[in-house]
Amino acid sequence: MLTNYEHIAAYLRARFGDTERGASLVEYALLVALIAVVCILAITFLGKAASSKFSTVGSAVSQAGN
Protein backbone atom coordinates (compact mmCIF):
# COMPACT_ATOMS: atom_id res chain seq x y z
CA MET A 1 0.00 0.00 0.00
CA LEU A 2 2.95 2.32 0.58
CA THR A 3 3.83 2.13 -3.09
CA ASN A 4 0.43 3.49 -3.97
CA TYR A 5 1.01 6.54 -1.72
CA GLU A 6 4.46 7.04 -3.21
CA HIS A 7 2.92 6.99 -6.69
CA ILE A 8 0.31 9.57 -5.66
CA ALA A 9 2.96 11.74 -3.96
CA ALA A 10 5.15 11.63 -7.07
CA TYR A 11 2.18 12.54 -9.26
CA LEU A 12 1.23 15.47 -7.02
CA ARG A 13 4.83 16.69 -6.92
CA ALA A 14 5.06 16.56 -10.70
CA ARG A 15 1.66 18.19 -11.18
CA PHE A 16 1.90 20.96 -8.57
CA GLY A 17 5.60 21.02 -7.84
CA ASP A 18 8.27 23.63 -8.34
CA THR A 19 7.45 24.55 -11.91
CA GLU A 20 6.99 28.32 -12.04
CA ARG A 21 6.94 28.98 -15.75
CA GLY A 22 3.55 30.72 -15.71
CA ALA A 23 4.27 32.65 -12.55
CA SER A 24 7.21 34.50 -14.06
CA LEU A 25 5.04 35.98 -16.82
CA VAL A 26 2.53 37.22 -14.26
CA GLU A 27 5.32 38.72 -12.16
CA TYR A 28 6.75 40.58 -15.15
CA ALA A 29 3.29 41.91 -16.05
CA LEU A 30 2.81 43.16 -12.48
CA LEU A 31 6.21 44.84 -12.52
CA VAL A 32 5.49 46.60 -15.81
CA ALA A 33 2.10 47.76 -14.52
CA LEU A 34 3.64 49.07 -11.30
CA ILE A 35 6.39 50.91 -13.20
CA ALA A 36 3.75 52.46 -15.50
CA VAL A 37 1.70 53.67 -12.54
CA VAL A 38 4.77 55.18 -10.86
CA CYS A 39 5.78 56.93 -14.10
CA ILE A 40 2.29 58.36 -14.61
CA LEU A 41 2.16 59.63 -11.03
CA ALA A 42 5.64 61.17 -11.32
CA ILE A 43 4.82 62.89 -14.60
CA THR A 44 1.56 64.22 -13.18
CA PHE A 45 3.22 65.57 -10.04
CA LEU A 46 6.29 66.96 -11.80
CA GLY A 47 4.19 68.39 -14.60
CA LYS A 48 2.13 70.46 -12.18
CA ALA A 49 5.25 71.61 -10.32
CA ALA A 50 7.04 72.52 -13.56
CA SER A 51 3.99 74.39 -14.85
CA SER A 52 3.86 76.40 -11.64
CA LYS A 53 7.57 77.25 -11.88
CA PHE A 54 7.29 78.28 -15.53
CA SER A 55 4.35 80.53 -14.69
CA THR A 56 6.31 82.16 -11.88
CA VAL A 57 9.38 82.70 -14.08
CA GLY A 58 7.23 83.98 -16.94
CA SER A 59 5.54 86.49 -14.68
CA ALA A 60 8.88 87.67 -13.29
CA VAL A 61 10.34 88.08 -16.79
CA SER A 62 7.31 90.02 -18.06
CA GLN A 63 7.38 92.31 -15.02
CA ALA A 64 11.11 92.91 -15.41
CA GLY A 65 10.60 93.79 -19.09
CA ASN A 66 8.01 96.48 -18.33
Q: Distance between terminal CA atoms of the chain?
A: 99
Prediction pTM value: 0.48
pLDDT for 15: 72
> Is pLDDT above 90 for 20?
no
> Is pLDDT above 90 for 14?
no
What are 29-53's pLDDT values in tens digits?
A: 899 999 999 999 999 888 888 888 8
Q: How far apart are CA 52 and CA 30, in angstroms?
A: 33
